[in-house]
Amino acid sequence: MEQIIMYPGEVGKDAVDWKSTQGQHITAVQRNILVLGSGGREHALAWKLAQGEGAKVFIAPGNAGTAEVGVNVNIKVGDFEGIKKFCIDNEIGLVVVGPEQPLVDGIVDFFKGDAQLQKVRIVGPDQRGAQLEGSKAFAKVFMEKNGIPTARCLTVNQQTIEEGKTFLRSMKAPYVLKADGLAAGKGVLILDSLDEACQELSNMLDGKFGQASATVVIEEFLKGIECSVFVLTDGEHYLLLPEAKDYKRIGDGDKGLNTGGMGAVSPVPFCTNDFLQKVEDRIVKPTLNGLKSDGIDYKGFIFLGLMNVNGDPYVIEYNVRMGDPETEAVMTRIEGDFADMLYACAEGSLDKVHYAKSEKTAVTVMLVSGGYPEAYQKGKVMSGMDLLTDCVAFHAGTAFNAAGEVVTAGGRVIAVTAQGDSIEEARQKAYENVSKIKFEGENHRNDIGLDLLSLCGAE
Ligand code: AMP
Ligand code: GLY
């Protein structure tokens, strides 16, 4: 497994000799790109792709922000036939899949198996590869088989519930229970008491998360600090994209309910070269070798949810897509033509691209609807986006109303990303801009990146 050389970069420098397949720039038709999804992640992907030479970006279904960088197409991500027709009619050369569900549902297999779509390149794993995220039990077996560091675990179902309870009794609090299947990010419970853990195990196996929790992974609790490391692979070669830290809970100090993510910082001070080298040696290479030896042809993103336990990385979870809101920070640090890079990934020629990442720090703050992550209202008119300076605002849950105004349309509404030479500077710029965006019930965290300041010597 070969890593791509990185050229830590000056802006624009590497864009000059940015090449893809066998050194040829990709052709005009291949420059028609379709991004699937409608969140902040997809806006950030589309924003970055649209900066590529001659790129024409379509987003299905998109949001009010993606409409500024490309053309929104009213097709749902699960409508494979609709997507196929659009690709053929619009000579799409590259499809980039944002969320996990279409991957787990086999969109890559659908493309590869269809004679009319043979020329369309698609970034993402096939259905077997997507099991790394689609089934936590599969991911745990995969990690054990390939010697990848992860928490000790036992996988149980209704028939083996008593073994599960015995396993819980053998462990110390807190107790970690994970629904095997996709559960909209809600399928992990962390419980302080043994009684509660045994009760929740029964509830989960009885269908608390529907079919997703018919199988449950019981896991040892890992104490440490989390980070998200992103890998782009064509199955033979890989590169590490900028890493990020996500802020998962609704309240400052990481208090309150879990959310999809309230902010992000990239790079992460504790992800030193030494730590990232361990990630590559102990996790990335064995993962890619394991996929190969299972005969899985993986071309796409791998998102490693890691726990840094006293300087050693452990895998908390695999995702088969980019993270949200991490992408909103990460994309601002990638230099060069991202469309070329993704096309090369799908072609199997990632070794032919030069990749550079900015040494700036990016801080992303997510503005959410009042009440989120519980019930919240939609349709609130948004203002202030025209006042923003020196930042990018990536739309998540936004739409246009009948009057053409931008309104809220989801829990997570808009992600403001600013860059600086330090976390402090990027934070200050991001929050200055956050204060300009107004909508009824607006809420955000005020402490994104604060916990990292003490880890950055000079700051
Ligand atoms: P997941 O849906 O797998 O990302 O899990 C949600 C969150 O639960 C993670 O981001 C961690 O904060 C936490 N978590 C999951 N597994 C563990 C574990 N084994 N030890 C400690 N925390 C965990
Ligand atoms: N921010 C975490 C995720 O995308 O799953």
Protein residue with its CA nearest to atom 2 in ligand 2: 323
How far apart, in Å, are the Cα atoms of 200 and each of 32, 137, 181, 196? 48, 18, 16, 6
Protein residue with its CA nearest to atom 7 in ligand 1: 188
Ligand closest in space to the Cα of 180:
1
Please tell me the distance from the alpha carbon of residue 318 to that of residue 296, in angstroms, as a whole number: 15
How far apart, in Å, are the Cα atoms of 271 and each of 43, 70, 263, 277? 26, 34, 18, 9
| Residue 188 alpha carbon to ligand 1 centre in Å | 7
Q: Given the DSSP bridges, would you call strands 398-400 and 312-319 parallel, antiparallel or unpaired? A: unpaired
Protein residue with its CA nearest to atom 14 in ligand 1: 316
Neighbours of 195 (CB within 10 A): 9
- Measured from the Cα of 219, ligand 1's closest atom is 19
At 28 the pLDDT is 56
Q: Which of 229, 246, 248 is nearest to 238 (CA)?
A: 229
Q: Which protein residues are within 6 Å of ligand 1, measured from CB?
A: 151, 176, 188, 190, 219, 221-222, 226, 248, 305, 316-317
Report domain extents, the chain. Answer: 5-123, 152-219
At 459 the pLDDT is 39
Please tell me the distance from the alpha carbon of residue 63 to that of residue 59, in angstroms, as a whole number: 8
Neighbours of 23 (CB within 10 A): 9
> What CATH number does domain 5-123 carry, 3.40.50.20, 3.90.1150.10, 3.30.457.10, 2.40.50.100?
3.40.50.20
- Measured from the Cα of 136, ligand 1's closest atom is 3
At 23 the pLDDT is 35
Tell me the DSSP string of 123-154. ES--HHHHHHHH-HHHHHHHHHHTT--B--EE
**CATH numeric code, 152-219:** 3.30.1490.20
Please tell me the distance from the alpha carbon of residue 291 to that of residue 314, in angstroms, as a whole number: 18
Please check whether residue 424 is in contact with residue 459, taking contact to mean a CB–CB distance below 8 angstroms: yes
Q: Is the pTM of this model over 0.85?
A: yes
**Phi, psi (5° rounding) for residue 61?**
-90, -15
Please tell me the distance from the alpha carbon of residue 113 to that of residue 345, in angstroms, as a whole number: 19
Examine domains 5-123 and 152-219 and report if their fold is the same: no
Which residues contact residue 145 at a Cβ distance below 8 angstroms, ignoring those fewer than 6 apart?
Answer: 290
pLDDT (tens place) for every residue of the chain, 459 residues total: 444 433 322 222 222 233 333 334 455 556 899 999 999 999 999 999 999 888 999 999 999 999 999 999 999 999 999 999 999 999 999 999 999 999 999 999 999 999 999 999 999 999 999 999 999 999 999 999 999 999 999 999 999 999 999 999 999 999 999 999 999 888 999 999 999 999 999 999 999 999 999 999 999 999 999 999 999 999 999 999 999 999 999 999 999 999 999 999 999 999 999 999 999 999 999 999 999 999 999 999 999 999 999 999 999 999 999 999 999 999 999 998 999 999 999 999 999 988 889 999 999 999 999 999 999 999 999 999 999 999 999 999 999 999 999 999 999 999 999 999 999 999 999 999 999 999 999 999 999 999 999 877 543
Give SS3 for 416.
strand
